[in-house]
Structure 1
Amino acid sequence: MTNLMRACALAALVFFLCIGGTSGQFGYRITNSSPENGMIVEDFASAGSVTQTPVQMGYSVGGDDTVYLHIGEVAMTGSKVGINDIRLTISPFGPPGSKVGVVDGDRENDLRRFSSGLPRIVFLDDGTIIGQFDLDDPVYIKVVTPFDKIGPGDVRLDSPVDLPGTRVLDFDPDNGASCSVLHSGPSFNLWLPGARGVVRFYNANGNLYANPGALFGTWPSPPIYDAPDVVYFDVSSPTAYPRNFGYLTPNAIRMSN
Structure 2
Amino acid sequence: MRVLVRALSLLAVLGAGLAGCGEADTPRARATPPTAPSAAAPSTPQAPPTPRETLIAGHYRPLWPFSGPGEVAAWQRAYQADGREAWHLDAARTAIAFTRDFLGFTEIDQAVKTVRDGEHARVHVGFRSEEGPRPLVAAVVHLMRYGSGRNAPWEVVGTDDTTLTLTKPGYGATVGSPLTVGGRITGVDESIRIEVRHPGSATPVGERCCLGAGGENAAWSAKVSFTAEPGRTLTVVASTGGHVAAVERFAVTGVSLPS
Normalising by structure 1, report the TM-score.
0.23
Which structure dedicates a bigger proportion of its chain to strand? 2
Q: Which has the larger radius of gyration?
A: 2
Higher relative contact order, chain-length normalized (CA < 8 Å, sep 6+): 1
